[in-house]
Amino acid sequence: MPLDWSTCPAVESVPGKFSGAWVFRGTRIPVSAVFENLEDGLTIDEIAQMFDGLTRKQVQAALDFAV
């Protein structure tokens, strides 16, 4: 069953912004990018450094929500 991201305060989906995909609040960084990079072996800190405007706290909030 897919997650209901609408209850996660770290993310948002805005029609017309990144095609309505779930992104980190205040950014255009898709939540899916975090999971793809984790699967590739990157750490939370590496991911946060990779994307301008993304914080470790935001990444951790999304991960905590997903478990």
The highest-level CATH class for domain 5-66 is: mainly alpha
pLDDT in tens, 16-37: 888 899 999 999 999 999 999 9
**Burial state string for 18-44 with b = 16 or more CB within 10 A and e = fewer than 16:** eeeebbbeebebbbebbeebeeeeeeb
For residues 11 and 31, the answer to whether their CB atoms sit within 8 Å is: yes
Rounded Cα distance between 2 and 47, Å, is: 23
pLDDT over 70 percentage in the chain? 99
Confidence of residue 4 (pLDDT cuts 50, 70, 90): very high
